[in-house]
């Protein structure tokens, strides 16, 4: 297993991560399934496809004092859909959006009250079908060299969570939570970030991201190597 040199070479790590995300060979359902319920329906019927909503979310990586971290939002409990759940910022594609990655950036900017001009889209994760909300969710991974001040929209965000990759990769973080579905209690795998559980679709997308991070971190990062310049043209852009 590689050591933690990757924490000291964030630009190199991000570059390798972008290369892996755009390789066309993602872990996909095999990684998502690790954090899913056994009863999950993975794919819609062909006849359903024209009726499904297209959405996009952003897993935004950024430096933090404790190491590379990813942003999550806690949705207000009063919301009708996924209220009280931890999620990635994102939402439905609008007619004016040039692409799904643009949707992810726009929604992130709106929810967190931040400019996304300095966000580089590193690449996509595997699209996820959400039966309960009739959604095809397209996750993207982004990187920002310095997180700007945030002004979250209180109508959509109750709290912003910054969770390090080291914490998410720690097996002790994996837990189980019980949630009510259709009036019945059900158990779901989760990432426990006290006092919150990351579960459901967000946990499945996080699981795939962590599978890719684990692959990339096993590449040695020479201690004497200089980090590449923090320029967006070094990283594939999918804006």
Q: What is the mean pLDDT of residues 114-126?
A: 96
**DSSP-assigned letter for residue 76:** P
Total Cβ atoms within 10 A of residue 182:
6
Q: Please tell me the distance from the alpha carbon of residue 122 to that of residue 115, in angstroms, as a whole number.
A: 17
For residues 32 and 205, is the Cβ–Cβ distance under 8 A? yes
Kindly indicate the confidence band of residue 59, based on its pLDDT and cuts at 50, 70 and 90.
very high
Q: Please tell me the distance from the alpha carbon of residue 97 to that of residue 38, in angstroms, as a whole number.
A: 35
Q: What is the mean pLDDT of residues 131-148?
A: 92
- In percent, how much of the chain has pLDDT > 90? 64
- Closest by CA position to 235, among listed 126, 123, 115: 123
Kindly indicate the confidence band of residue 86, based on its pLDDT and cuts at 50, 70 and 90.
very high
Kindly indicate the confidence band of residue 150, based on its pLDDT and cuts at 50, 70 and 90.
very high
**What are the tens digits of pLDDT across the range 156-195?**
899 999 999 999 999 999 999 998 777 788 899 999 999 9
Higher pLDDT, 231 or 135: 135
Domains of the chain: 5-169+199-219 (3.90.79.10)
Given a cut of 80, whether residue 117 has pLDDT beyond it is yes
Q: How many residues does the chain have?
A: 239
Kindly indicate the confidence band of residue 56, based on its pLDDT and cuts at 50, 70 and 90.
very high
pLDDT value for 148: 93
**What are the tens digits of pLDDT across the range 8-30?**
668 889 999 999 999 988 999 99
**DSSP-assigned letter for residue 113:** T
pLDDT value for 60: 98
Residue 158: partners with Cβ closer than 8 Å, 6 or more residues away? 73, 74, 75, 76, 77
Least confident of 40-54, 100-114, 125-139, 187-201: 40-54
What's the predicted TM-score (pTM) here? Answer: 0.87
Residue 188: both structure tokens together = 């779901």
Given a cut of 80, whether residue 7 has pLDDT beyond it is no
**What are the tens digits of pLDDT across the range 25-54?**
899 999 999 999 877 888 777 888 888 899
- Closest by CA position to 90, among listed 133, 47, 28: 133
């Amino acid at each position: 297993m590689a050591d933690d040199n990757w924490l000291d070479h964030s630009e190199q790590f991000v570059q390798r991560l972008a290369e892996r995300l755009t390789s066309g060979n993602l872990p996909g359902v095999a990684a998502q399934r690790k954090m899913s319920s056994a009863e999950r329906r993975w794919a819609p019927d062909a006849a359903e496809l024209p009726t499904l909503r297209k959405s996009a979310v952003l897993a935004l990586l950024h430096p933090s004092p404790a190491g590379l971290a990813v942003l999550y939002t806690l949705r207000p409990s009063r919301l009708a859909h996924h209220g009280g759940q931890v999620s990635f910022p994102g939402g439905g594609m609008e007619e004016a959006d040039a692409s799904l990655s643009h949707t992810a950036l726009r929604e992130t900017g709106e929810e967190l009250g931040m400019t996304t001009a300095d966000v580089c889209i590193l690449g996509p994760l595997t699209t996820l079908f959400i039966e309960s909300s009739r959604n095809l969710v397209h996750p993207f991974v982004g990187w920002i060299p310095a997180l700007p001040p945030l002004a979250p929209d209180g109508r959509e965000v109750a709290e912003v969570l910054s969770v390090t990759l080291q914490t998410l990769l720690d097996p002790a973080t994996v837990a189980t939570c019980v949630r009510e579905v259709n009036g019945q209690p059900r158990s779901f795998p989760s990432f426990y970030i006290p006092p919150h559980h990351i579960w459901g679709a967000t946990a499945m997308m996080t699981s795939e991201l962590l599978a890719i991070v684990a692959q990339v971190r096993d590449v040695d990062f020479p201690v004497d190597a200089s980090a590449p310049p923090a320029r967006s043209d070094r990283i594939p852009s999918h804006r």
